[in-house]
Structure formats: C-alpha cells, structure tokens
Amino acid sequence: EAGVAQSPRYKIIEKRQSVAFWCNPISGHATLYWYQQILGQGPKLLIQFQNNGVVDDSQLPKDRFSAERLKGVDSTLKIQPAKLEDSAVYLCASSFDRANTQYFGPGTRLTVL
Amino acid sequence: DQQVKQNSPSLSVQEGRISILNCDYTNSMFDYFLWYKKYPAEGPTFLISISSIKDKNEDGRFTVFLNKSAKHLSLHIVPSQPGDSAVYFCAASAILENNDMRFGAGTRLTVKP
C-alpha cells in the first residue's frame, strides 16, 4: 500500500514570496491533515479535512495560509506571503476516518530567507 | 498550549537495555494515545497506540503503559537496538470529539552499540 505522498521535499524562498505544497493521501482515506513542525517542537495541526470539507482550521493563520481539497483526495497548502517564522517542516497525514490512526508523509521542509 | 509534554529532550541507553520514554498530558478528555517514531528527513511513523480503556498495550519489543489517574504514559523498548535511535513523539487525541492530535515536543533516543 502506497503511503502519503508530498511534494516538494524541500523549498527555499524569500520572505513575502508565495509557496504551495501538495499532498496525496493514502487511497481510501477520507480524513486529511496538515501539520506544521517547527524545529525542536512537535507537529501542530493547521487544518483537518473530512473528504472535501474543512472540519477544523482553528489553528490556521488565515491571513496568509490557505488550504483546499477540492475533490476530496489531493490537497494543497499555500502560504502567501511567507514570513521568516514560517520556516518549518509541513507534514501531511491521512486516516481512514476521523477516529483512526493518522499516517504521515515525509514532509516538506520550508526555509524562508 | 502544552497539553502533551515530554520533559526529557534526549535519552541515551546501551544496546540490549531497556529504554523508557515518558509523556504527561493535562487534558482529561484525551482517550487515545499514540507513539510515533521519526527518523531524520522522514515523516513520523506510527509505532503503537493505546485506548483509555486499557492500561497496557504490547507489540513485540514495544510496550505502552497508561496511568490515567496520573495522566501519564510511557513507552518501554526492550531490548533496545541501535536502529531504535530516533526521535519519539507522544500524541494524544479525543476520539469522540474531533480527533485533533496534540503532540509532545519529542525525545531523541540514542541507543549505543
């Protein structure tokens, strides 16, 4: 069974630029999550989708971050404009449904200069 | 909000000995607890979980213990192997609510040959 796929693996941008990350969850998983992991900290949930609907985006900085999962499968997370403090690893995870174990992708390491 | 805490940032043990990683939580609504292992440049990998109706769950060399009254869980690895060297994250969620997982900051385990 293929795992959660993410791209790109690494991205370096300058502050005030825009960036987008892509995630393809495990086939059949209805729930998709985006996490931000700052160095030295545990992952922090940004947004949770159930199929193509948002379940929880309470910790998403909506002035600069946006995410969508239009067809209930793939998802994109966008930052516009980026700030220095957005430097982190962005992890995507998926689960069969909201009550099941989450499985993580390899992450995208973002560096904002 | 530090609802899940791993107070030891690092742990070093000798190969063949027991590794004990600890985790404390504050939210009494948490009813599902997980341990994830993370190697460099990879996403967290699910290791073992425990529901709040149990106090112990075992999977090969890995055992998780839950003490609900103390709001404390621990992961025991016996015997420890050099390949176990990684960062271990404790996570907790309230399954019957929205299953938002809260992570600890992680403990870096080094198993010396």
User: pLDDT of A78-89, one tens digit each?
Assistant: 999 999 999 999
> How do residues A20-56 score in pLDDT, each as one tens digit?
999 999 999 999 999 999 998 999 999 999 998 999 8
Question: Domain residues for B31?
Answer: 4-112
Decide yes or no: CATH 3.40.640.10 for domain A18-96.
no
| Cβ <8 Å between A101 and B101 | no
DSSP string, chain B: --SEE---SEEEEETTS-EEEEEEE--TT--EEEEEEE-TTS--EEEEEEETT-SEEEETTEEEEEETTTTEEEEEESS--GGG-EEEEEEEE-TTTT---EE---EEEEEE-
Provide the residue ranges of all domains of chain A, joining segments of one domain with +.
Answer: 18-96
Instruction: Using CB atoms, pick whichever of B6, B41, B103 lies closest to residue A43.
Output: B103
With 90 as the cut, is the pLDDT of residue B98 above it? no
> How do residues A61-112 score in pLDDT, each as one tens digit?
999 999 999 888 999 999 999 999 999 999 999 999 877 789 999 999 999 9
With 90 as the cut, is the pLDDT of residue B99 above it? no
Q: Assign B14 a pLDDT band (cuts: 50, 70, 90).
A: very high
User: Which chain A residues have a beta carbon less than 8 Å from that of B57?
Assistant: none
Instruction: Using CB atoms, pick whichever of A45, A98, A104 lies closest to residue B43.
Output: A104
A96–B contact, CB cutoff 8 A: no
A40–B contact, CB cutoff 8 A: yes
Q: How many structural domains are present in chain B?
A: 1
> How do residues A3-13 score in pLDDT, each as one tens digit?
999 999 999 99
With 70 as the cut, is the pLDDT of residue B1 above it? no
> Which of B23, B50, B25, B35 minimizes the C-alpha distance to B87?
B35
| Cβ <8 Å between B89 and A98 | no
**Chain position carrying tokens 């947004």:** A47
Query: Which CATH number covers residue B83?
Result: 2.60.40.10
| CA A62/CA B44 separation, integer angstroms | 26
The predicted structure's pLDDT at residue B12? 98
